[in-house]
Amino acid sequence: MSLSGKSVIVTGAGSGMGCAVSRRFATRGAAVACVDVDADAAEATATEIEREGGVALAVEADVSRADEVEAMVDRTVEAFGGLDVLHNNAGVPQRATPVEEVAVDEWDRILDVNLKSAFLGVKYAVPHLREGGGAILNTASTAAIRPRTGLSAYVASKGGMVALTKQLAYELAPDVRVNAICPVATDTPMLADFAGEDLSVEGMRETIPLGRLAVPGDIAAAAVFLASDDAAMITGTALEVDGGRDI
């Protein structure tokens, strides 16, 4: 599954799944723009890629802001000469909270970062992606398929991501393929932020038939496949990387 010669943007690249995906893309030959709201984290991922012999660019951007997303795309195209893959991966968690206790500002922030950001990325990337028959990957969640207690805003954002993926796959065909990845609970620093009175990390683990949490490398492997030419006939799917959670 070679990505040689391809230019890729990964948002939320400073840690967790985004870092793993960025590094895996680079090992397959892609030039990777590592985007994160935390400039130091983006730089750390890019530096690690370069240390391993890859090509990377660190980009600081708040993906909920249109001007910063447009600049992110422009900077990548200028640096790499084009754009082949956009991975809308940036996201924020929601601590398990009864819906009537969810603050309006928190709802807005989660929807802005987890869903609006994908719209903005696509809006500014599509003209470049059309030129070479590119691909879009969206990080959704198993929560979009089997919701959990107290995650109303998060589930809404990830359910919207799956629906947006299918709409874009239809709208952008045959020029651009669009797919989503639906990770189960993944062993990253963000995972503990989902815990609440009725939702624990161990409780999440117990719902997974394969008996373990996902790790970032599981998501990276799926992303490389969907971005590669090996997935040339796959568009509009929401791939469950879930250890059987959604059975």
Question: Could you confirm whether 170 is annotated as catalytic?
Answer: no
Residue 132 scores a pLDDT above 90: no
Does some domain include residue 1? no
Largest interatomic CA distance in the chain: 50
pLDDT of residue 86: 98
Q: 3-class DSSP state for residue 53?
A: coil
pLDDT tens column, 208-236: 999 998 999 999 999 999 999 999 999 99
Does some domain include residue 25? yes
The one catalytic residue among 97, 154, 164, 179: 154
The one-character DSSP state at 63 is: T
**Backbone torsions φ then ψ of 31, nearest 5 degrees:** -90, 125
pLDDT tens column, 1-20: 799 999 999 999 999 999 99
145 close to 246: Cβ distance less than 8 angstroms:
yes
86 close to 122: Cβ distance less than 8 angstroms:
yes
Does some domain include residue 143? yes
pLDDT of residue 198: 61
Does some domain include residue 246? no
How far is residue 129's CA from residue 123's CA, in Å, rounded to a whole number?
A: 11
Residue 106 scores a pLDDT above 90: yes
Range of the domain at 67: 7-241
CATH of the domain at 103: 3.40.50.720
CA atoms within 13 A on the CB side of 68: 14
pLDDT of residue 98: 94
pTM: 0.94
Number of folded domains that form the chain: 1
DSSP characters over 5-43:
T-EEEEETTTSHHHHHHHHHHHHTT-EEEEEESSHHHHH
pLDDT of residue 199: 61
201 close to 185: Cβ distance less than 8 angstroms:
yes
Pairing state of beta strands 135-139 and 177-183?
A: parallel
54 close to 42: Cβ distance less than 8 angstroms:
no
Give all strands of the β-sheet with 177-183 in edge-to-edge order: 55-60, 31-36, 7-11, 85-88, 135-139, 177-183, 238-241
Does some domain include residue 247? no
Does some domain include residue 2? no
Does some domain include residue 22? yes
How far is residue 155's CA from residue 167's CA, in Å, rounded to a whole number?
A: 18
The CA-based dihedral angle spanning residues 206, 183, 220, 4, taken in that order and rounded to the nearest 10 degrees: 160
39-44's contacts with Cβ under 8 Å and 24+ in sequence apart are: 40/14, 41/13, 41/14, 41/15, 42/13, 42/14, 44/14
Residue 105 scores a pLDDT above 90: yes
